[in-house]
Chains A and B, each alone.
Chain A
Amino acid sequence: MQTATYFDHNGTTRLDSRVLERMLPFMTEQSGNATSRHSAGRTARQAIEQAREQVAAAVGAYPSQVVFTGSGTEADNLAIHGIAMANGVEQVLISAIEHPAVSRPAQALQWHGIKTGLIAADANGVIQPAALKAAISGATKPVGLVSVMLANNETGVIQPISELTEIARQHKAWVHTDAVQALGKISVDFAELNVHAMTLSSHKIHGPQGAGALILDKRVDIRPLLYGGGQEKGLRSGSENLAALVGFGMAAELSTSGLATRREHMEKLRASLEQGLAELGATLFGARAGRLPNTSFFAFDGIEGETLVMALDRQGFAVASGSACSSDSTEPSHVLMAMGVNADLARGSVRVSLGYANTMQEVDAFLLTLKGELQRLRKLTAIAV
C-alpha cells in the first residue's frame, strides 16, 4: 500500500534523500552531546550552528534569532505562552482559523487570567485588516499579543501578515505567525513580515520529524517552556536533537533553492486538478483568495468527507479530510466554520496537498478515480434515501 500516490504534503512530507544523506553520519558515528566540551561534543556543536545558519538564511533571519525546538507545536506553545507570560500580556488575539498548536495554548492562558479573543475570517478564509481592527476595538483590555498564521493548513489561504503586523504594532502588541505551512511553498521573509516571532517545522519541508524552530526578535522577552541545562540560550533546555537539527538545516536550505520552479510545477498540477474538480461539481474553499501553490480544499454536496477519503485510499490515493491532528474527529472543520460554510458541506471536505515530486499523470489518475468513486457513492446514497 505504500506505493500509493501521496497527496497529503500538508500533513507530513517524505524526507528528501539529500537530507537523509546529511543526517546519517550524525545518527551513528558522530553522535556527541553538543554541550560536551570534548571533540565529539564540538563536532556536534558546529553541526548545529551550521543548521542554525541554514534555517536563518531560508527565512531572511539572523542565526541568532533561531531557537530550535522539538516541533512546530512546541515553537507555537513557546511563542504564545512564553511571550504572554513574560510580558504581562492581558489580552491575546488569534485568528479564528489557527492550528490547535496556537489556539490551544492561547485558550490555556485563561488559567493565568489572560483573555484570548478571535479575529474573524472572511468567506474566502482571509483575515482582513479590518477584522483585526474590529477585534482590537472590541477587546476589553489592551491587546498585548496577536497571532495569525502565514498560510492556513486546510485551505492554503495566505494571510496579509505585513498589513496585520502594522496594525498590531500601532497598538504596541507583539506579533507571532505560524509559518509552518508556508515555508518551502512560497517565499518567507522574517524581516519583511516584520513579526516578532515565527514558527517553522522541519517535517513539512521534506526534513525529519522531531525538529522545529521559533524565529525570535531578540528584543522580545520570552518565558521558556522547558527548564534545565540551559541550551538555546536558556530558551529551550534539553540535549539537542543533533541528527534532526542537521536534517532540518539541510531541508530549509533545499526548500528555498529552486523554489520558483517547484512552485510553478505545483501550480500547474493544481490548476489541472481544480479544473477537473470544477467539472465534477466540487465546491472549492478559499478559491478567490491567494493560496499556497499546492493546496486544494473542496467538498461535494451530499458526500461525506470521511467516506470519500476512505474510498480514495482504497484506490491508492492518500488525501486528508482536514488537518491530520483532528482527522479522527467528526466535527466539521473549524476553519470552514469560521468562513461561514454550511456544516453539512463542511463535513464533506477533502484536502489534496501536492508535493513537488507529484506528476500530472498522478493528477489525471486521481480525477478519473474520483469520478468513479463519486458515481458509486451517489448511487449508494440514492438507495439509502
Chain B
Amino acid sequence: MTVHTPIYLDYSATTPTDPRVAEKMIPFLTEHFGNPASRSHPFGWTAEKAVENAREEVAKLVNADPREIVWTSGATESNNLAIKGAANFYSGKGKHIVTIQTEHKAVLDAVRELERVGFEATYLAPEPNGLVDIEKFRAALRPDTVLASVMLVNNEIGVIQDIETLGNICREQGIIFHVDAAQATGKVHIDLEKLPVDLMSFSAHKTYGPKGIGALYVRRKPRVRLEAQMHGGGHERGLRSGTLATHQIVGMGEAFRIAREEMDLENARVRRLRDRLLTGLQEIDEVYVNGDMKQRVPHNLNISFNFVEGESLIMAVKDIAVSSGSACTSASLEPSYVLRALGRSDELAHSSIRFSIGRFTTEEEVDYTIELMKSKIGKLRELSPLWEMHLEGVDLSKVEWAAH
C-alpha cells in the first residue's frame, strides 16, 4: 500500500468529518432546511425533532440528561459561557477563580477577561508530567473562590487530569467546577452521573463531527446557574440565543453516537499505532516525551527533539501535517506555554512536535513517519554545531555564550 503525503497526524487540531456524519447532515442542508424555532409548520418541527435527537446522543455519550445539554458554536463559546456566565452569576459569593496554566486559551483568556473586570485568578502550575497536584490544588482554593476550571484532557500533551478528585474537593467547598472536555470525547469514558462536575465543554470537530458546533453541559441537580452571554430570541432556555444550525447539530449528534459505539475498539487500535510511533521515534537519540505516559489519551504523542531548531524542524517535516503547539497559537513563534509550564526549556519547547493519531491513520503512515523523522532529524543535526558539541561531550548548559 502506498502512502499519500501529506500524512494527517493532527487529529487534536481538528478531525476530518466522518463520512457517516456528513451523510447524515446533508438532508438537513437540503430538504429539511427549517428553522427549529419555527413552531407553525412542519419544516420547523422536523428540524426541532432532529435537534432533540442529537441532544440525546450527546447526552448519552457522557451519561447526562438531554436537558443538561446547551448548544453553542464550539468549545470556545462553551468555555466562555461557562466561565464568564458562572463567575458573574455567583460573583456575590466571591470573586476568585482557580485554573491551571496549561488550560486552552479559550479558558485562560476568558479568565483574564474576568480579571479585567475585578475578579482575581490563580493560575496553578502543573507538575513536570503535566498533572495537577491534588494538594496544591486544594491549597489554591480560598473562601472567596467561586469557580475552578480544569481541563479533562490537555490539547498539547494529552494528559488526563484526575477530575473526580478535584471535583470532590470543589464540591466540599461549594465551588462551581468547570471542565473543558473538548479533547476528551471519544477518547475517555465520561460519566456525568458519577463525576462531580458542574459544567463541561464539548466540541464536535475534535470527534469527527463538523466545525462550528459544540455544547455545554449544565448540571441540573444540584442546579447550576449561568448568566447568558448571548441574548436574543431566548433559544436554549434563554442560556444561548441564536438560530440553531440544525445540520451541524445533527452532525454532532451522529459523531457522538459513533464515538459512544466505537470508542473502545478505536482507542485500542489507535493506541497500538501511537505506541508503534513512540517505539520508532525512541530509536532517535536525545528525544524527550512531554507529559505523563500513563494518564494520557491513546492518540497523543508529544516529543521534543533536542539539538534541532524548531522552525527548521517544521519546515523539514512538510510531508506530515503535525503541530508544534496547539493549532490556535501556531501562528506565533512563541514556544508552547504548555511545555514551558512543565518546566521544559525554550529550546526543547521549540523543537517539540505533537503527533495526534486518529480514525483514518494507517500503520503504513506511522512507519513512513518514523523513517521520515529519523532521516530529517539526522540531517538537521548534521548541520547543527550544538549537536557536534554535544557529541564531543560539551555540557551545553554550562557554556557561556559571548554576546555579539
Contacts and interface: CB of A to CB of B under 8 A. Distances in A.
- The answer to whether A and B interact is yes
A12 interface: yes
A70 B22 CA distance: 19
Given A11-B35, A28-B16, A237-B106, A73 B43 contact: no
B113 interface: yes
Nearest to B104: A228
B77 to A, nearest CB: 6
Given A105-B232, A225-B230, A320-B38, A244 B33 contact: no
Interface string B220-244: 0000000011111111000001111
Contacts of A57: none
Interface in B34-57: 34-35, 37-44, 46
A239 B230 contact: no
B227 to A, nearest CB: 8
B327 interface: yes
A222 to B, nearest CB: 14
B322 A4 contact: no
Interface string A287-330: 00000000000000000001001100100011111011111100
Interface in A114-151: none
A243 B129 CA distance: 37
A226 B13 CA distance: 19
A100 interface: yes
B322 to A, nearest CB: 7
Interface string B55-84: 000000000000000000111110110000
Nearest to B230: A77
B39 to A, nearest CB: 5
Contacts of B43: 2, 4, 6, 8, 318
A76 interface: yes
Interface in B197-222: 203, 205, 210-213
Contact of B37 (A28, A313, A324): A324
B41 A4 contact: yes
A101 B232 contact: yes
Given A227-B112, A237-B76, A238-B106, A11 B38 contact: yes
A93 interface: no
Given A101-B231, A210-B245, A237-B106, A27 B38 contact: no
Interface centre among B75, B213, B241, B242 (most CB of A within 10 A): B242
Contacts, number: 279
A108 interface: yes
A151 to B, nearest CB: 17
Interface in B87-123: 104-107, 109-110, 112-113
B25 interface: yes
A288 B107 CA distance: 51
B234 A100 contact: yes
A105 to B, nearest CB: 4
Interface centre among A23, A39, A230, A239 (most CB of B within 10 A): A239
Contact of B76 (A228, A244, A306): A228
Nearest to A229: B328
Contacts of A319: 40-41
A242 B211 contact: yes
Interface in A208-257: 208-211, 225-231, 237-244
A33 B234 contact: no
Given A27-B25, A238-B73, A238-B76, A39 B321 contact: yes
Nearest to B37: A324
A15 B33 CA distance: 7
A2 B321 CA distance: 43
Interface in A72-98: 72-74, 76-77
B212 A327 contact: no
A218 to B, nearest CB: 20
A41 B327 contact: yes
B327 A33 contact: yes
A107 B229 CA distance: 13
Contacts of A40: 6, 8, 10, 321
Given A203-B243, A239-B74, A323-B233, A28 B34 contact: no
Given A28-B17, A100-B234, A105-B232, A243 B211 contact: yes
What range describes how many residues of B lie at the interface?
35 or more
A208 B243 CA distance: 11
Interface in A27-83: 27-29, 31-33, 35-41, 70-74, 76-77
B235 A325 contact: yes
Contacts of A15: 29-30, 33
Contacts of B326: 229
B33 A228 contact: no
Nearest to B13: A33
Contacts of B79: 228
Contacts of A306: 40
A268 interface: no
Nearest to B211: A241
B336 to A, nearest CB: 14
B228 to A, nearest CB: 8
B242 A228 contact: no
A104 B233 CA distance: 8
Given A35-B330, A41-B327, A326-B233, A2 B73 contact: no
B100 to A, nearest CB: 16
Interface string A188-212: 0000000000000101000011110
A1 interface: yes
A99 interface: yes
Contact of B328 (A17, A203, A230): A230
Contacts of B105: 227-230, 237
A236 to B, nearest CB: 9
Given A28-B17, A104-B241, A4 B42 contact: yes
Contacts of B41: 4, 8, 309, 313, 317-320
Contacts of A12: 33-35, 38, 243
B31 interface: yes
A18 interface: no
A323 B233 CA distance: 9
A77 B109 CA distance: 19
A32 B37 CA distance: 31
B314 interface: yes
Contacts of A24: 22, 26
Contact of B73 (A74, A310, A324): A74
A153 B142 CA distance: 50
Nearest to B111: A227
B173 interface: no
Given A28-B16, A31-B14, A31-B16, A209 B243 contact: yes
Q: Which 10 A-B pairs have the closest CB atoms?
A: A241-B212, A325-B233, A229-B328, A210-B245, A228-B106, A70-B73, A104-B231, A238-B76, A318-B41, A227-B109
9 contacts: A20-B30, A29-B16, A35-B328, A40-B8, A41-B13, A101-B233, A239-B14, A309-B40, A325-B241
Interface of B: 6, 8, 10, 13-17, 19, 22, 25-26, 29-35, 37-44, 46, 73-77, 79-80, 104-107, 109-110, 112-113, 203, 205, 210-213, 228-235, 241-248, 314, 318, 321-323, 326-331
